[in-house]
């Protein structure tokens, strides 16, 4: 799933790979998928994008947006992107295909669910999730300081668990159930722990580990549970994920616990993250 580190890595790779390329053809929704989301009629994507030149790609939380001369391709919520050189075999099952004059292609696929939106500039400004992601202060920017983080704490959020606080209601766009596992381990906070039990020092520790863990994941090329633009797994080795759910805590050696909570899996160390 696209989260903050992967969006940052993909954006960098897309800028290096696609910038200046002209779109020759676009085919959307060729392989039906019930939970693939498009903007308007996907059959009109080709008319919208044909002949336009890729200008720049920008990350917004856990989303990636490619700008192309007044139009945009926007990806998020589980969409996977893969770049193919001219002559490489393109997968038959795909939800989006963008072919460039160079013969190279960008392919978008969806496993569980995902958005592959194409629209004229500002076309999705009425989408609240899109707007929240674009307007949010990037968590890894210098502008996002501890004072800004404290604005997330209110009467409602203080009653939430650490997982709910971090991963719901777009408090930090792009921070989801995947990256929060290592963040909470590094901060020694149990996913079920109520936010109102954190001291001022605990809040500062959480903030520091959000920043440092996301930066480490990004610097590593994304998590080892996710693939980049060229099909390679990220170089950041996750501490708590499906990759090591049956193993031991890398910090203390205790067993890693896995539970279902709030519609997804949580992983935690009972020793390091006492509830």
Average pLDDT, the chain: 95
Find tokens 């890894």 and name the residue: 140
pTM of the model as a whole: 0.95
Q: What is the distance, to the nearest Å, from the Cα of residue 205 to the centroid of all Cα atoms in its chain?
A: 23
Taking residues 54-82, what's their average pLDDT? 96
Per-residue confidence (pLDDT) for residue 52, from 0 to 100: 98
176: phi then psi, degrees, rounded to nearest 5? -120, -165
How far apart (Å, rounded) are the C-alpha atoms in residues 37 and 35? 6
What crossing angle do the helices spanning 200-219 and 177-186 adopt, rounded to 10°?
A: 120
**The token pair that represents 140 in the structure block:** 């890894």
Considering only CA atoms, which of 207, 205, 87 is closest in space to residue 139?
207
Q: Could you give the angle at the alpha carbon of 225 between the alpha carbons of 12 and 221, nearest 5°?
A: 25
Confidence tier at 126 by pLDDT (50, 70, 90): confident
Strand pairing partners for 264? 261
Contact (Cβ atoms closer than 8 angstroms) between residue 139 and residue 4:
yes
Which residue matches tokens 């947006």?
65
Strands 114-120 and 36-37: parallel
pLDDT in tens, 5-14: 999 999 999 9
Average pLDDT of the segment spanning 252-275: 93
Pick the range with the lowest mean pLDDT from 85-94, 143-152, 237-246: 237-246
Q: What pLDDT was estimated at residue 245?
A: 67
Cβ–Cβ < 8 Å for 97, 107: yes
Q: What is the mean pLDDT of residues 90-113?
A: 96
């Amino acid at each position: 799933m696209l989260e903050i580190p992967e969006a940052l890595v993909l954006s960098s790779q897309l800028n290096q790979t696609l910038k200046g390329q002209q779109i020759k053809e676009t085919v959307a929704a060729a392989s039906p998928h019930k939970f693939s989301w498009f903007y308007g009629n996907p059959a009109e994507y080709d008319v919208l994008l044909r002949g336009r030149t890729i200008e720049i790609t920008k990350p917004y939380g856990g989303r990636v947006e490619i700008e192309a001369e007044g139009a945009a391709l926007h990806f998020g919520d589980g969409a996977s992107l893969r770049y193919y050189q001219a002559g490489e075999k393109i997968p038959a099952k795909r939800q989006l295909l963008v072919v460039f004059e160079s013969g190279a292609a960008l392919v978008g696929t969806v496993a569980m669910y995902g958005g592959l939106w194409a629209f004229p500039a500002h076309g999705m400004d009425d989408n609240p999730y899109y707007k929240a992601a674009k307007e949010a202060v990037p968590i890894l920017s210098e502008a996002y300081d501890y004072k800004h983080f404290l604005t997330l704490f209110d009467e409602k959020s203080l009653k939430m668990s650490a997982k709910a606080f971090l991963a719901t209601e777009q408090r930090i766009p792009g921070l989801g159930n995947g990256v929060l596992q290592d963040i909470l381990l590094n901060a020694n906070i149990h996913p079920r722990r109520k936010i109102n039990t954190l001291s001022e020092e605990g809040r500062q520790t959480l903030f520091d580990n959000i920043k440092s863990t996301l930066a480490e994941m990004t610097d590593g090329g994304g998590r080892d549970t996710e693939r980049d633009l060229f099909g390679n797994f990220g170089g950041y080795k996750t501490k708590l994920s499906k990759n090591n759910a049956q193993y031991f805590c890398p910090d203390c050696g205790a067993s890693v616990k896995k539970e279902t909570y709030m519609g997804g899996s949580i992983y935690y160390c009972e020793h390091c993250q006492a509830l």
